[in-house]
Amino acid sequence: MTPASLALWAGCCALTAVLTWMAIRYAKRAGLIDAPGERRSHVQATPRGGGVAIVVVMGLASLLLCLAGRLAVVEVALALAGLGLVAVPGWIDDHRSLPVWPRLLAHALAAVCVAVLAWRASQSLLHAAVGFAASLALVNIWNFMDGINGIATTQAGLVAAGFAVLLWPSAWAMLALCLVACALGFLPFNFPRARIFLGDVGSGSLGYLLALFGVLAWPASGWSLAVVLPLIAFAVDAGFTLLRRMLAGERWWTPHASHAYQRLARRWGHPAVTGAYGLFTACAVLVALQFSTPLSPLPLLLALLLLVSAAAAWWKVTRHWA
C-alpha cells in the first residue's frame, strides 16, 4: 500500500469513530432507542442508527478514489446510487417504521445497480443476475443477523478483507479495505458492550457493500466458491432459519430471536458467540484465498468441511437449544 492509501485507510477508521460518537449523541436526542424485548437479544435500552457513520465514510472514500482517477465516474455513481437506495430507507426506518414494500422496491433498485456494475465488469448476463440476487440476499441477511453485539460488524470486516485480497490490485480492493477500516472504527462502540447499534441504515448497507465487492471479486478470483466461502457463517444461519420458519408455517417476515447465533448468545453471552463466528469466518477466508487455477483438492475438501460443520452446528443448536 502506498502512503496515500494508508492515509485513506487510517482516515476512514478515525472518521468513522468520530461520526459514530456523534451518532450516539444524535440518537439519544432524537429518541432512536431500542428497548429490550422477547424478540431481541439485548437487556439494556440502546441507541440505534450508528451505521450511518459507515455509510457517510464509505461514500466519501468512493468520491476520493474517483477524484484520484482510480475509479470511473459511472462506477462510483452506480455504487453510491445503490448504497443510497439501501441506506436512506434504512435511516427512515430507524426513525419511524417504514412499510415493507417501499423498502423492498428500493433494495431491488439497489440490486439493479450491482447487476449493472457486474455486467460492466464481465459482459455476462449470468454475472449480472448473480449480482442482482446477491445484493437482495445480503442486504436482508445482514439485517437478520445484526442481533448481538459486534457480530454484523466483525463479519463484515472479515469478509471485506477477504474480498480485498481477491480484488487486488484494483481500486475496488482499496474501497473494500476502507470498509474494513470503517468496521474497526465502529466496533469499539458496539463490542463487547454496545453503546449504539448499526440500525437498519448500517446493517443493510454492509450487506449491500459486501454484495458489491463479492460480485466484482468473482471474475477476479476465478472460482465462485472463493467468494461464497467467507459468507457461509451468516448464509447458513440466516438461510436455514428462514427455511425452517417457512416450513413450520410461522410468520417468517416478522422479527424473532430464533437464529442459531441468538440461541447461542442466551447461553454463552454476546462476546463468546461473536468471537466464535469471527473465528469460523476467518478460517473460511483463509481457505477461500487458497483457491487457484489449477485447483488442488485440499481447498475443496476444507471448503466442504466448513460447509458441513456450519450446517451441523446450526442443526444441533436449533434442534436442542431454546
* pLDDT digit string, tens, across residues 297-307: 888 899 999 99
Q: Which domain holds residue 77?
A: 3-320
pLDDT given at position 42: 64
Rounded to whole angstroms, the Cα distance separating 137 from 182 reads 22
Rounded to whole angstroms, the Cα distance separating 36 from 182 reads 27
Tell whether residue 140 is among the known ligand binding residues: no
pTM of the model: 0.94
Mean pLDDT rounded to a whole number for the chain: 93
Tell whether residue 190 is among the known ligand binding residues: no
Name the residue with higher pLDDT: 184 or 98.
184
Lowest mean pLDDT among 70-79, 228-237, 246-255, 309-318: 246-255
Rounded to whole angstroms, the Cα distance separating 24 from 58 reads 19
How buried is 316 (Cβ within 10 angstroms: 0-12 exposed, 13-18 middle, 19+ buried)?
Answer: exposed
In the chain, the number of structural domains is: 1
In tens, the pLDDT along 64-83 reads 999 999 999 999 999 999 99
